Amino acid sequence: MTKQEKIIGMFDDIAPTYDLANRVLSFGIDKQWRKKGCDKAYEILGKKELDKIIDVACGTGDLLLYWKSRADKHKINVANYIGIDPSCGMLEVAKEKVSFATFLEGQAQALPFEDSSCDIVSISYGIRNVVDRAQGISEFYRVLKPGGMLVILEFTKQEKNGFISKIVDFYMKKILPSIGGLVSKNYVAYKYLPDSIEEFLTTTMLENELKNGGFELRYVKSFSLGISTLFVVQKPLG
């Protein structure tokens, strides 16, 4: 079994309790992070009519709910909302929860969409699970229209070793696996989370990967002591 297959199997297992665990572990603050990402992308894009928003590694469809609600708030018409995820378990939950979107099984490294066909691509707390991240970023670039937006929300590795970073580290490595394991009955899955963050990139490193992939940085902001970072980047018009 490959590393990617093991990750998919793990998410299949925790799908029924995934939303509850997220709310508990983030104290509900992740809702504000998601709203901010949607609002900022809509603001920078500056259009009232959009063809397609694709949420990659969509999980249970949480972010799609925010894309829709924020579009309605800003009076933006979106013709198609699409969620794509390699986990069948997650997609089963998403289909029950989100009635307005189309859901497809698939991976970031091979998106089943035509070149320059999407206005917005998003991926929330999923890019660190993409084994071939460079290929994933290349696919995001390929499917976006010129001027299209890529929105990434991700847990990023701490860049400093001060007092605050020690608090964050303690929470992520000790408290989070215990609570997540209790809610989901799968301690291993929530032990994987801090381990995967530790193996992941700092904010600066991911910024460089996105720039190397051809994107222009438009907005980058860290939340909650640097636990989560929002990246809003754009495919150049030229």
Residues 195, 2: Cα–Cα separation, whole Å? 18
The pLDDT score that the predictor gives to residue 183 is: 57
Residue predicted with more confidence, 204 or 101: 101
Domains of the chain: 3-159+201-234 (3.40.50.150)
The pLDDT score that the predictor gives to residue 171 is: 63
Span 172-197, pLDDT tens digits: 666 666 666 665 566 566 665 656 65
Residues 153, 129: Cα–Cα separation, whole Å? 13
Provide the residue count of the chain.
Answer: 238
Span 146-169, pLDDT tens digits: 999 999 998 776 666 666 666 666
Tokens of 22: 């997220």
Residue predicted with more confidence, 15 or 146: 146
62 close to 90: Cβ distance less than 8 angstroms = no
The pLDDT score that the predictor gives to residue 222 is: 85
Average pLDDT over residues 195-212: 81
The pLDDT score that the predictor gives to residue 143 is: 98
